[in-house]
Amino acid sequence: MSDPIGLLSGKRIVLGVTGGIAAYKAAELTRLLGKAGATVDVVMTEAATHFVSAVTFQALSGRNVWSSLWDADQRGMAHIDLTRGEGGADAVLVAPATADFLARLVHGMANDLLTTLCLARDCPLLVAPAMNRQMWEQPATKRNIAQLESDGVAILGPAEGEQACGEVGEGRMLEAQEIFDALVAFLQPKPLAGKKVLLTAGPTFEALDPVRGLTNASSGKMGFALARACAEAGAEVTVVAGPVSEKSQPWRYARRIDVVSALEMRDAVLASLPGQDVFIAVAAVADYRPVRAFEHKIKKGEETLKLELVANPDILAQVAARPDAPFCVGFAAESRNLAEYAEAKRKAKKLPLVVGNLVQDGLGGDTNQVTLFDDTGAHPLPAADKLNVARGIVSHIARLMKCPQ
Ligand code: C5P
């Protein structure tokens, strides 16, 4: 999804690999973690070595691979030294995590290096289960997962789909990129923990007839990146999305409500508003809609065709004007005079924060360069991919809301 370079620099991850066919995906995960700047220590169970060779992980991590409690290290204390002390691990991530491994973990067993170091660790533990769908559905596995969750272990997945055994169902391991994204999200600071955030994203489409309409080039990427950054920061997120191409992508970060027109977007926002702490209006809402949409396709004929348009409601202004308004953030996409127009918009809509950008720097692309306008002035953020820009915006919002950082 996002460019992994630098996302995990300075982090130390212990990657546990247990004996399932999905172990081959752990090789790709090792590569992604390394590319993101993490130091990766791979610990394999004996069963895992039957699926993928330790040499593969050694080559990809550039480090020694551990698999036995009896491997000789300087102190004979690999089960403790790998996760603790100076330069200790930021997280232990087990992918794939087999049903057997999860069961041993639940019981605090320490009968191989991986279970022993999980027991001896003082950092977070994340597991990505991988097993046959019948094994996943067994009450014993369900019990084990519930117990691990209540012990504070993060469970990533599993996904649904075709399994190595030929069956189809829930139990296959998430893809390496999904596990990587989940780990990066897990390690982000959580200044919005306990907060609820509502966003709008994408364009709106104002129908002219059954096949045509007025819309714009907004891709929804900035809104979706912000939704993800808010979720990473610990918020419960709802996105009201106009018709965007991201429609078919997996959506794990937020509750998502799909709408088409500005009026539908307004209704969905107002219905979702109670209890929200923050409202971020990222959508490029059409300013006007046709006075009426034709029931049938408009036929070619006259030299000129007159369209009568009527102004759409300003969703952000409506929300910000409410006595119970959440913390409201607007976007100002301009083609010139950014500071002047963004400040004017902030005053007119009575917003604590406006995110301004020049359309030539952001619309439709994967990167953006924004300036934040608040009561204390203008704060430019460095140009970056949209997820990192979104993280910068979220930490500014959290500061303005005086959330513990
Ligand atoms: O006034 P302008 O349309 O430039 O303001 C842009 C900001 O207002 C954006 O945050 C946009 O999402 C929001 N907006 C809205 N409803 C509209 C028009 C804009 O929420 N009808």
The pLDDT assigned to 318 comes to 97
CB atoms within 10 A of CB 143: 12
Chain segment 45-78, per-residue pLDDT in tens: 999 999 999 999 999 999 999 998 887 665 667 7
Helix/strand number for the chain, H first, E second: 14, 21
* Cα 298 to ligand 1 centroid, rounded to whole Å: 29
Q: What is the mean pLDDT of residues 174-197?
A: 94
Torsion angle (degrees, nearest 10) of CA 246, 248, 249, 251? 100
Helix (H, G, I), strand (E, B) or coil at 222: helix
Residue 333 Cα to ligand 1 middle (Å): 9
How many CB atoms are located within 10 Å of the residue 70 CB?
Answer: 8
- Atom from ligand 1 closest to the CA of residue 319: 20
Closest CA to 98 of 26, 22, 43: 22
- pLDDT number for residue 73: 66
Instruction: Give the model's pLDDT for residue 1.
Output: 45
Domain residue spans of the chain: 12-187, 196-400
The answer, yes or no, to whether residue 359 has pLDDT greater than 90, is no
Tell me how far apart the alpha carbons of residues 178 and 75 are, in angstroms, rounded to a whole number.
36
Radius of gyration over every alpha carbon of the chain, rounded to an integer in angstroms:
25
- Mean of pLDDT values over 87-102: 96
Q: Which amino acid is at 192?
A: L
For residue range 126-137, what is the model confidence (pLDDT) as tens digits?
A: 999 999 999 999
Which fold would CATH assign to domain 196-400? Rossmann fold (3.40.50)
The answer to whether residues 253 and 241 touch, using CB atoms and an 8 Å cutoff, is: no
Q: Which fold has domain 12-187?
A: Rossmann fold (3.40.50)
Q: How far apart are CA 211 and CA 190, in angstroms?
A: 44
Active site residue 165: yes
Q: Which residue carries 């829930």 as its tokens? A: 170
Residue 176 token pair: 């390496």
Query: Ligand 1, residues 285, 322, 397: which to mutate, most atoms within 8 A of Cβ?
Result: 285
Mutational test site, ligand 1, from 226, 267, 331, 347, max ligand atoms within 8 Å of CB: 331
What is the Cα–Cα distance from 270 to 49, expressed in whole angstroms? 55
Same fold, 12-187 and 196-400: yes
Q: What is the pLDDT of residue 2?
A: 46
How do residues 5-50 score in pLDDT, each as one tens digit?
A: 578 989 999 999 999 999 999 999 999 999 999 999 999 999 999 9
Q: How far apart are CA 301 and CA 308, in angstroms?
A: 18
pLDDT at 362: 64
**Dihedral angle sign, alpha carbons of residues 122, 388, 246, 33:** negative
Query: What tokens does 2 get?
Result: 């996002």
Please determine, for residue 248, whether its predicted confidence score (pLDDT) is greater than 70.
Answer: no
